[in-house]
Chains A and B, each alone.
Chain A
């Protein structure tokens, strides 16, 4: 048998006192998709960074087709045939598609760049990912996120990559584009490329990959063929203990209606008029909102929170009309957890304490001065309550893992004494263990009589955690049922099969 495409042996990497990778080994053969599974902080991303040349390993060796491979930078790795598709897209937004694809390439000789001579190469790379209609001269910033990701993949192909590393490629993609991405991954596999794939979604991993490797605390704790292992076994390997309950439920009983969103119309200036949305929320319930990306779920939450302009419609709490400004909505008890944790949800450079108390400083303020000691004390209490793992509250939020950042963001809403929590994709990019903690937290809040609105693209969690689930499509609330009366197929049908029903009703 010939040497495997990529062989990694005993890779270790430390960051100061922290051991990120501890003798990790893995093998990728030609035409194989390897899923790299693990909780946040297990070392998956660090491993990919070592593979892609962004980090230098402290110990261990790597071989490509039996030849030693030791990249001294991302560019060097790319030249040796290893390309990485990052979770955060890495394209120059102001440049054209073709310039992005050929960025870092030497040009057409003598430092010159005659684009016409390279267009065939660009066309090939774009065709390979199914972007037959994309004009290579189009500006990248004007393309959709899904297209941008495909552009990034075609950039990897243009550099003749033999190994492609995907770091959670589906986390920002709508469902239909995920299917397209998988098709492309399968095509690449068919061409004999080796693929390493990170994802938090087990069913996704099962669909696309051939083999798996589970990391925990920087160590390989299991690997093999994906068909030989059950989901629960994978989860047990990931968290290091038996997990029998992925969706813990805290018993709670929904009470009477108290929040009414009535005839809300919010339309961005360049979109067609969206239809009015009316929803009634009960005390002590978890209300799920399902739908495809772009169905208007985020827009609904933002409009309810008063963040975006609303053309028509009212929001009442306990029968009292609430004005359409963020301040008024907050005073009425609304709190919003943004989907975009990095840019909007948290002030990354500020400390945990400052982030946690940012929206509720009034409690400590006297004559315009902040009572720092009281504030710090209260923040420390909240950190303990939501179990933020950090050295101290003075750490800046950017140093925390995604899951811990999310806890800080949720704690901020709780700290501002919100009774109606609007959570937009609260479990996005978070590992299984922390997800379970967030579900439990939501159950507890409902048990305390608060209302939780839970937007998610991940149907199993919506159907398991929520009391009622509404499905949105094209800016419209299609249908609301008790969670027990939905199946995943029903939800998808309701979210997708709308165009026919829409045209008949209007």
Chain B
């Protein structure tokens, strides 16, 4: 029975619940109980969306046995592009002519994300250089490009140039009317994340494209033998991931209301961590969108919980790092290795 739960797909979800309960109890005992309040739930869900959305793209890449280290800097590059467009707008958000400004801005932002992904995919497919190296290179290139267009500083969009819906995209406060669906106090960012999760989950499960991605990650030679166009599929995978990075950039902008290209450094690791915590295998063939959502929640729950308990940031880093390693070890054990563990288990 215990073994069955241990081996089930709900491992990450159980871990999330356990962590959540632990922090709730600790918070009630040692702190003022803010952690489990609905307000904080909204905050946590919203910041989890910021990680989860780009992590959906990363999940697809990791299932295809790839990796994208440039996701972080590409994400802030997208945010910066949007910030620049809003900053340079000649008209304020209240003006009817603003519609074209924001549409162009969104298109530019999504285009930037897809282009970043496309470049990654093309380089990987055409040169056969391992994704780790290719994206390590593009990571710094995207950072450089971002700093050039931002003139090496942070791009602040003036308040009157940000439309309301964008300003309240990540809103978690008490005012009803600021939510996308007034009356339903769920941040718009969370709704976007859920919508995208459903779409990409269906894509992976019920389309030929999705199955081909699993096949490539599981055994590339088999995929090729079965007539799957591996290079094209990989380009599509990275470009699609670029789209999610762009939406992640939108949420990032809505969250901080500015664009700073160097903010992205390190974000990619958080994104990858969410995928891995959700059961994604870096050797490809395994991973799930639902798992990635849970992974993103685990990270934000720990972070929020630690800050409620006034645990210094430095320790939070150590805790998150430890959880990631434990998660991967548990995943290994679920799949039956190492042998010595089960030997001990039998003797106990």
Contacts and interface: CB of A to CB of B under 8 A. Distances in A.
Contacts of B223: 92, 103
Interface stretch (B151-159, B164-172, B207-215): B207-215
Interface in A71-107: 73-76, 78-79, 90-95, 99-100, 103-104, 106-107
A103 B226 contact: yes
B219 A90 contact: yes
A113 B226 contact: no
Nearest to B226: A104
Interface string B217-253: 1110111111110000000000000000000000000
B243 to A, nearest CB: 17
A90 B339 contact: no
Contacts of A112: 206-208
A107 B214 contact: no
Contact of A269 (B210, B222, B346): B346
A203 interface: no
A103 B228 contact: yes
A112 B217 CA distance: 20
A99 B215 contact: yes
A286 to B, nearest CB: 32
Nearest to B205: A113
Interface of A: 73-76, 78-79, 90-95, 99-100, 103-104, 106-107, 111-114, 268-270, 309
A349 B75 CA distance: 39
Contact of A270 (B285, B340, B342): B342
Contacts of A103: 211-212, 215, 222-223, 226, 228
14 contacts: A75-B226, A90-B219, A90-B221, A90-B222, A90-B225, A93-B285, A94-B284, A95-B214, A99-B215, A103-B222, A111-B207, A111-B208, A111-B209, A269-B343
B218 A93 contact: yes
The 4 closest A-B pairs by CB, nearest first: A75-B227, A104-B226, A94-B285, A92-B218
Given A103-B222, A268-B339, A92 B227 contact: no
B218 A75 contact: no
Contacts of A270: 342
Contacts of A94: 214, 217-218, 284-286
B222 A91 contact: yes
A309 to B, nearest CB: 7
A94 B287 CA distance: 10
B343 to A, nearest CB: 5
Nearest to B343: A269
A76 B221 CA distance: 16
Contacts of B209: 111
A78 B221 CA distance: 15
B338 to A, nearest CB: 10
Interface in B108-153: none
Contacts of B226: 74-75, 78, 103-104
B218 A269 contact: no
B267 to A, nearest CB: 28
B222 A92 contact: yes
A135 B177 CA distance: 52
A104 B228 contact: yes
B286 A95 contact: no
A92 to B, nearest CB: 4
Contacts of B207: 107, 111-113
Nearest to A75: B227
Nearest to B341: A269
A92 B214 contact: yes
A99 to B, nearest CB: 5
Given A103-B222, A269-B345, 16 more contacts: A75-B225, A90-B219, A90-B222, A92-B214, A92-B215, A92-B223, A93-B218, A94-B284, A94-B286, A95-B285, A103-B215, A103-B228, A104-B226, A107-B208, A113-B207, A269-B339
